[in-house]
Amino acid sequence: MSLDTTRVLEAIKEAKERSKKRKFSQSIELIINLRDIDMKKPEAKIQENIELPHAPKKKTTVCVIATGELALKAKKANTELVLSKADLEALVTDKKRQKQIANNHDIFFAEVTLMPLVGKTLGSILGPRGKMPKPVPPTVDIKSQITKWSKTVNIRVRGQPVLQCAVGTEDMKDEEIAENVMVVVRRLEGKLKRGLKNITTICLKTSMGSPAKIKL
């Protein structure tokens, strides 16, 4: 048994129709409820980074923590925030600034040699948000990494047998959103012992709308 693309498209259309028009483009969120999963067993600890065919967000804000050449390349790539080692050290006692940085940026990269200092400075605030920086070498093509991770979503089970992630925005083509949904569900199928049989419901909704079920 596999998910039918036609049914995904029907649910996307329904979710959009159920949503009131807003002054901004709402996210399209995918919600997957699981069943017959023992939350105490290791196999229930699902956490996956999934690169989607189409970027699911209107604008991804990036923070790069680096020195030297990598910091220069990050600035040339129009990165929203570049932090140096000195910047990090100054953050150690500045909890307010730590929180601002964590809240205002979606993706973090850090030069691998700075990761221990990142952990000491920002680990406690980025970790619970699932935003710990991706460690990168000084020679990395940071622009291509930003492009790749801007199309990446994280799915994880946290306490309850449910997964949720953004798979697009309401102004995207239905077909693009459907492709993103299919990629996430196929990856999840591969992680579940019984595939789709371990799934109770799959729903789609706009940020402020009501959910539309995908018929399984």
Average pLDDT over residues 86-100: 94
Q: Where would I find the H helices in the chain? A: 5-18, 68-76, 85-91, 95-104, 115-126, 142-150, 174-191
Q: Tell me the two tokens of residue 166.
A: 């953004």
Domain 62-149 listed as CATH 3.40.50.790: yes
Residues 6+ apart with CB under 8 A from 25: 58, 169, 170, 171
* Domain limits, CATH 3.30.190.20, in the chain: 5-56+151-213
CA distance linking residue 36 with residue 50, whole number of Å? 24
Q: What is the pTM of this model?
A: 0.80
Average pLDDT over residues 156-179: 92
Write the pLDDT tens digit of every residue in 94-147. Answer: 999 999 999 999 899 999 999 999 999 999 999 998 899 999 999 999 999 999
Angle formed by the axes of helices 115-126 and 95-104, nearest 10°:
80
**Which class would CATH give 5-56+151-213?**
alpha beta
Write the pLDDT tens digit of every residue in 172-211. Answer: 999 999 999 999 999 999 989 898 899 999 999 999 899 9
The answer to whether 11 and 174 have CB atoms below 8 angstroms apart is no
